């Protein structure tokens, strides 16, 4: 199987002040031998405001290509620019503004030839007691169905990045949500740090909690055929400031990658991309960026490319 390594531009920006520019990130990933990059639609990286039209976006793609990098995916600002547009619980006006936000970023993907875009259920969890669970569930299913349909129309895969800082983070909820959406153009973005928090720590779950005795490998099996993209990192099975699961450099935590990677392939993962998403929130990110590619490359040789 073909297997290439990418990294999100945001990985080198979180926790840094000032945040490195997209130009700096691209130069580092290129110099360190990465095959691709996932672009952040925030941190003044690949934003729709910075690249407002097809001509500027073509220049962006040509420049990244000149650095021997492919664009593996795109992440608009989470939760409508970090919570600005809580569409799953907000008013009709918020929903309408979010739909414009979504379309603008989807068009960015089309103009740049980006194959996949991150989406989320529109608000930070855990769900407040005053919020109607069934109504919110129905709104998220309907919006995700819209995302999947619109993405399919223009050739962009929709990827739900399950994070414990969201609504609907229990393992069984995740399976049911994808089944209720019922469109193969919306799949799970499996992020090792986030899945650890959701399925092992039961972080931010509404009672009763669900913890998988078989950990991440058990969740992989539950998601057979539904994983559309991999975000690979290590974790110490803890949370960062009670916000989400820790994202450590590979080999700095407790994940058994020799068990996890084969399980992902056995569960039907067919994408060529394996994206490193270690976010230590400090200057360790520079060393991790170098070491993670080497570590992951060896794991892919061992467990994926020989399939």
Q: Peptide bond preceding 111: is omega within 30 degrees of 0, i.e. cis?
A: no
Tens-place pLDDT, residues 59-114: 999 999 999 999 999 999 999 999 999 999 999 999 999 999 999 999 999 999 99
Query: Which of 117, 98, 150, 131 is closest to 46 using CA atoms?
Result: 117
Q: Domains of the chain, with CATH numbers? A: 4-303 (3.20.20.150)
Q: Are 11 and 278 in contact (CB under 8 A)?
A: yes
pLDDT at position 207 over 90: no
Quote the CA–CA distance of 59 and 38 in Å, as a whole number: 17
DSSP 139: H
CB atoms within 10 A of CB 110: 17
Rounded Cα–Cα distance for residues 64 and 57 (Å):
11
Phi then psi dihedrals of residue 289, to 5 deg: -60, -40
Among the listed residues 227, 225, 223, 205, the one whose alpha carbon sits nearest the alpha carbon of residue 214: 223
127 — pLDDT class (breaks 50, 70, 90): confident
Task: Give me the percent of the chain exceeding a pLDDT of 70.
Answer: 100
For residues 75 and 46, what is the distance between their CA atoms, to the nearest angstrom? 9
Average pLDDT over all residues of the chain: 97
Answer whether 169's CB lies under 8 Å from 205's CB: yes
CA 69 from centre of chain: 19
Mean pLDDT of the region 168-175? 97
* Number of other CB atoms surrounding residue 214 within 10 Å: 13
232-235: long-range contacts (C-beta < 8 A, 24 or more apart)? 232/192, 232/257, 232/274, 232/275, 232/276, 232/277, 232/292, 232/296, 233/191, 233/192, 233/193, 233/276, 233/277, 233/278, 233/279, 233/292, 234/192, 234/193, 234/278, 235/192, 235/193, 235/196, 235/197
Q: Which helix (H) or strand (E) holds 220?
A: helix 215-222
pLDDT (0 to 100) of residue 115: 98
pLDDT of residue 129: 86
Q: Which two tokens stand for residue 304?
A: 């994926």
Q: What is the mean pLDDT of residues 20-41?
A: 98
Q: Both tokens of residue 191?
A: 């992020």
Is the confidence at residue 128, as pLDDT, over 90? no
| 100 sits in which H/E element | helix 92-112
What span, in angstroms and rounded, lies between the C-alpha atoms of 143 and 183? 12
């Amino acid at each position: 199987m073909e297997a290439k390594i990418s990294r999100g531009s945001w990985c080198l920006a979180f926790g840094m002040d000032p945040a490195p520019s997209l130009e700096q990130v691209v130069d580092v990933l290129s110099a360190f031998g990465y095959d691709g990059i996932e672009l952040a639609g925030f941190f003044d990286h690949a934003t729709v405001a910075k690249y407002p039209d097809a001509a500027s976006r073509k220049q962006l793609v040509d420049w990244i290509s000149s650095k021997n990098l492919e664009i593996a995916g795109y992440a608009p600002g989470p939760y409508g620019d970090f919570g600005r547009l809580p569409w799953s619980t907000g008013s009709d006006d918020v929903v309408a503004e979010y739909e414009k936000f979504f379309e603008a970023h989807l068009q960015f993907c089309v103009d740049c030839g980006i194959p996949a875009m991150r989406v989320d259920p529109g608000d930070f969890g855990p769900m407040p007691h005053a919020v109607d669970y069934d109504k919110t569930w129905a709104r998220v299913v309907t919006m995700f169905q819209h995302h999947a349909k619109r993405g399919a129309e223009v050739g962009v895969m929709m990827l739900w990045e399950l994070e414990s800082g969201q609504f609907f983070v229990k393992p069984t909820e995740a399976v049911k949500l994808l089944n209720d959406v019922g469109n193969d153009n919306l799949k799970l973005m499996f992020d090792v740090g986030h899945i650890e928090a959701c399925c092992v720590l039961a972080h931010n779950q509404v009672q009763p909690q669900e913890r998988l005795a078989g950990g991440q490998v058990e969740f992989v099996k539950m998601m057979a055929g539904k994983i559309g993209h991999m975000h690979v990192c290590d974790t110490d099975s803890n949370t960062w400031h009670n916000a989400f699961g820790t994202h450590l450099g590979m080999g700095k935590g407790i994940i058994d990658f020799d068990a996890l990677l084969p399980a992902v392939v056995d569960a039907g993962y067919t994408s060529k991309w394996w994206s490193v998403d270690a976010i230590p929130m400090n200057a360790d990110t520079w060393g991790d960026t170098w070491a993670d590619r080497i570590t992951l490359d060896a794991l892919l040789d061992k467990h994926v490319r020989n399939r």
